[in-house]
Structure 1
Amino acid sequence: MQVFHNKSKVIITCNKRLSPYLQDEVTALGYTIVRAFATGVELNITLTECIKLNLNLRCASQILYSIKSFKAVTPDDLYNEIKTIAWEELIDFTGYFSVTSNVDNPNITTPLFANLKVKDAIVDRMKEIKGIRPNSGSDANKAVVHLYWKDAEADIFMDTSGETLAKHGYRKIPGKAPMLEALASGAIYATKWDKKSPFINPMCGSGTLAIEAALIATNRAPGLYRMNYAFMHILGYNEEDFFAERRILKDQVVKNVDLKIVASDLSADAVDITRRNAQTAGVDTFMDFEVCDFELTPIPEGGKGVVVFNPEYGERLGVHSQLELTYKRMGDFMKTSCKGYSGYIFTGNPDLAKKIGLKASRKIEFYNGKLDCRMLEYDLYDGSKRDPNERVTKDLKED
């Protein structure tokens, strides 16, 4: 089964509301999208081409290569269909594999049972043909088989990613309530930041937004920080294909760039975590780290860059009233200290957002986990919004 060289349906998944940014990434890499949907895109490519996507995509979660599509009403149907697949040509019979699934079938009460039927079918076939059964479990660090089963329609995939691509590998110290790296990338793409003007991240926490901004601006792909993917554990894998793509990643890094990225936080521990994560990512030299209240964050003059906040949402008892003042102060800070910039506040609390005191020009929808969030955009005009010629004409008329 020459999966590395045969084209098949490939599904690239992502978190809800990241699909538009994932589509842009996939198209920029030169791929044609067959279908786009709320949690991903569909392509028709080889498994070898999946290697490049795994190493480059920032907003993706998994890249799934279709092995077979079939009808299955009952668990026995599922077992019988999966057992017909030549697993001995896909998985090392002396190796290890895991099974994941997305199941919506009236005959299944728990996805774990579906996983078990898939595993049993693979193991039983391998034992009949090879006389030995591969090991299996829940770890996704070797070969991974994925089942999609909705009603009577089923698809069985080789998950080419394994561990999620949404984590980019450099964040060794997570800090307190960190933003997922894929979400941070999507949020940065949504600002339409030009990757040259200042990027200011007050209340930076563990620094994910600021670090992702530096990675995007210097063209450092996530594949630079990871050396194990599930595609490496599929029979027929040629490691030279991986290392060839990795050399391309290294060559495309922009090393000489004049960047001004500021990460500030009132917590010295948070700033230390940000600095250490940035060092792991290799972008600390492009960043300024400040321990201060956000109102004292240094804002370069004339930069016309972006200011991005990701404050607490006030889900815990006793902090809501305190955060009302914080949100008001954020609005005041952007209005008085960030003129000429574009301001953004990422929040999952619409009541607190009302305390900002500025009118948002855009409300960009995201999910942070299962929490419905908005990134609010504010145009922080330097002086009057009106055309200066209009003001001069008006003054002449008054004279």
Structure 2
Amino acid sequence: MGSEHRHAPLPIHGVAVLPQGLEDIGSQELQALGAKQITPLRRAASFESDMACLYRLHLQCRLPFRLLREMARFRCDGRDSLYDGVQQALDWERWLHPSMSFRVDVTGTAPGLKHSHFTALQVKNALIDRQRDLWGKRSSINLDEPDLCLHVHLHRDEAVLSLDGSGGSLHRRGYRAAVGVAPLKENLAAGLIRLTGWDGSTPLTDPCCGSGTLLIEAAAMALQRFPALHRNFLLESWADFEPDLWNAEQQRAQKRQQPVDNPPRILGYEQDSKIAQQARDNIRAAGLEEVIEIVEADFRDAPAPEEDHGVVVCNPPYGVRLGDSIELQELYRELGAVLKKDYGGWDLWLLSGNRELTGALRLKARRRIPVNNGGLDCRWLHYELNRRLR
């Protein structure tokens, strides 16, 4: 037994890169999927896992941009120590054959390494020189579709070398060929829905649904649909990839998916016919056309819902990128009026990037959760709408 214990695999140290403001709820998602020793960080959360859990996170997580697997950390106080540290960090003969392409992503700084492009060049040179020593030939660089994606994080006098298991950002689900003018990233939308506590047991409505991202992420969450099941992952080309374990985790995710025999009622309104069609195209691409209904109409013309309780989610224009300020003031004022009149007893969650416009709703927020949306400082606001009088 002691011998078995000595040979037990070491835990994998990883980092989930998250939207700013979703660090805590992102940590909860990691924990729910089996990760251990989770620590929320700024725009990230660190964790420990075994290989099965790491595969599970890639397949089932909705909130991270990326999942990074730490492979080595070493002292880095300049260009030379970075070069030497990278060469010695891994058995490159096993991990990066010249037939494979690679990419290097860099975050952070160290003495003499203040620019990410320059740092990435030093990492690339270290790897290529090592390959030439081993084989007399080198890998090519592929920024778009590499076989191996390396991530180097510099902080103070230390470098952390990690592998990116996906290569491309996990927020890209694959269903959204068509987006509106100021799109909401899919993983942020998923996090916002999770913060509402909506579980599919009550109706969900978006009065200004745009290309439908909030509705799609809500439906996918309620039905346990995992878009990552349909994508290719760079981890499948890692030297220690375990196909049987990977297949088992894929089957595990597939078994969690719910049938559409009793779907939640999910409804979106969009007055622009072109954008409404974009929403329908995205919904169809996500395989959720049986679950989500898009009505081409102005929310002001929509009938009041029959249900006494539900959730309204909304990401109206902020006036930063879209719309004229006076027109938007009127939009918010009328949105508030319609919600108070027709949606009494419902919960409203609204993403605001403009306090002045939000004031035009004439509603008092119960919660204000800071989030970052495409570089904009926003608040995910929760309102309880007073019950309607019959």
- TM value normalised by structure 1: 0.91
Cα deviation for residue 92 of structure 1 reads: 2.9
Between the aligned partners of 2:323 and 2:162, the Cα distance in structure 1 is 47
Count of residue pairs the alignment pairs up: 379
Question: Matches of residues 243-262 of structure 1 in structure 2 within 5 Å?
Answer: 243-255=247-259, 256-262=261-267
Between the aligned partners of 1:197 and 1:332, the Cα distance in structure 2 is 22
Between the aligned partners of 1:93 and 1:47, the Cα distance in structure 2 is 26
Runs of 4+ in 1 over 4 A off after TM superposition: none
Name the % identity: 30
* Contact persistence 2:108–2:116 (CA under 8 A): yes
Map Cα deviations across residues 327-351 of structure 1 (whole Å, 9 max, x no partner). Answer: 1111111100111110122121111
Is 1:23 aligned with 2:59? no
Between the aligned partners of 2:322 and 2:49, the Cα distance in structure 1 is 50
- The one-letter amino acid paired with 1:71 is R
Between the aligned partners of 2:106 and 2:336, the Cα distance in structure 1 is 44
RMSD: 1.7
Match of 1:387 in 2: none
Cα deviation for residue 82 of structure 1 reads: 0.8
Between the aligned partners of 1:172 and 1:224, the Cα distance in structure 2 is 18
Question: Matches of residues 206-355 of structure 1 in structure 2 within 5 Å?
Answer: 206-226=211-231, 228-255=232-259, 256-316=261-321, 319-355=324-360
Between the aligned partners of 2:210 and 2:55, the Cα distance in structure 1 is 32
Cα deviation for residue 313 of structure 1 reads: 0.7
Map Cα deviations across residues 128-157 of structure 1 (whole Å, 9 max, x no partner). Answer: 112221111322542100000012111111
Cα deviation for residue 115 of structure 1 reads: 0.3
Partner of 2:141, secondary structure, is strand
Partner of 1:84, secondary structure, is helix
Between the aligned partners of 1:287 and 1:225, the Cα distance in structure 2 is 21
* Contact persistence 2:204–2:310 (CA under 8 A): yes
Cα deviation for residue 6 of structure 1 reads: 4.6
* Contact persistence 1:58–1:168 (CA under 8 A): no
Is 1:84 aligned with 2:76? no
Partner of 2:37, secondary structure, is coil
Query: Alignment partner for residue 148 of structure 1, among 148, 153, 165?
Result: 153
Cα deviation for residue 34 of structure 1 reads: 3.5
- The one-letter amino acid paired with 2:354 is N
Between the aligned partners of 2:190 and 2:340, the Cα distance in structure 1 is 25
- The one-letter amino acid paired with 2:333 is K
Match of 1:192 in 2: 197
Between the aligned partners of 1:258 and 1:233, the Cα distance in structure 2 is 38
Map Cα deviations across residues 78-131 of structure 1 (whole Å, 9 max, x no partner). Answer: 001111131121123211110001022241231101001111111111221122
Is 1:166 aligned with 2:171? yes
Match of 2:132 in 1: 127
Map Cα deviations across residues 210-243 of structure 1 (whole Å, 9 max, x no partner). Answer: 11111011011232332x1121221232334333
Between the aligned partners of 1:296 and 1:320, the Cα distance in structure 2 is 22
Is 1:110 aligned with 2:115? yes
Map Cα deviations across residues 194-219 of structure 1 (whole Å, 9 max, x no partner). Answer: 32100001111110001111101101
Is 1:39 aligned with 2:43? yes
Cα deviation for residue 383 of structure 1 reads: 4.8
* Contact persistence 1:33–1:41 (CA under 8 A): no
Between the aligned partners of 2:246 and 2:181, the Cα distance in structure 1 is 34
Q: Given the superposition, is the C-alpha separation of residues 126 and 299 from structure 1 closer, same or farther in structure 2, using an over 3 Å criterion?
A: farther
- The one-letter amino acid paired with 1:357 is R
Between the aligned partners of 1:382 and 1:331, the Cα distance in structure 2 is 14
* Contact persistence 1:218–1:257 (CA under 8 A): no
* Contact persistence 1:347–1:375 (CA under 8 A): yes
Between the aligned partners of 1:347 and 1:93, the Cα distance in structure 2 is 49
- The one-letter amino acid paired with 1:242 is W
* Contact persistence 1:176–1:206 (CA under 8 A): no
* Contact persistence 1:100–1:145 (CA under 8 A): yes
Q: Given the superposition, is the C-alpha separation of residues 346 and 127 from structure 1 closer, same or farther in structure 2, using an over 3 Å criterion?
A: same
> Mean alpha-carbon deviation: is it higher for 138-147 or for 74-83?
138-147
Query: Alignment partner for residue 70 of structure 1, among 71, 74, 86?
Result: 74
> Mean alpha-carbon deviation: is it higher for 105-114 or for 155-164?
105-114
* Contact persistence 2:21–2:369 (CA under 8 A): no
* Contact persistence 2:341–2:388 (CA under 8 A): no
Between the aligned partners of 1:311 and 1:239, the Cα distance in structure 2 is 44
Between the aligned partners of 2:220 and 2:273, the Cα distance in structure 1 is 23
Between the aligned partners of 1:270 and 1:214, the Cα distance in structure 2 is 19
> Mean alpha-carbon deviation: is it higher for 340-349 or for 248-257?
248-257
Match of 2:142 in 1: 137
* Contact persistence 1:6–1:47 (CA under 8 A): no
- The one-letter amino acid paired with 1:15 is P
Between the aligned partners of 1:318 and 1:161, the Cα distance in structure 2 is 36
* Contact persistence 1:197–1:305 (CA under 8 A): yes
Between the aligned partners of 1:134 and 1:216, the Cα distance in structure 2 is 40
Map Cα deviations across residues 234-261 of structure 1 (whole Å, 9 max, x no partner). Answer: 1232334333322222221111233100
Q: Given the superposition, is the C-alpha separation of residues 91 and 317 from structure 1 closer, same or farther in structure 2, using an over 3 Å criterion?
A: closer
Map Cα deviations across residues 335-391 of structure 1 (whole Å, 9 max, x no partner). Answer: 00111110122121111111111111111211101100012111012158xxxxxxx
Match of 1:356 in 2: 361
> Mean alpha-carbon deviation: is it higher for 316-325 or for 154-163?
316-325
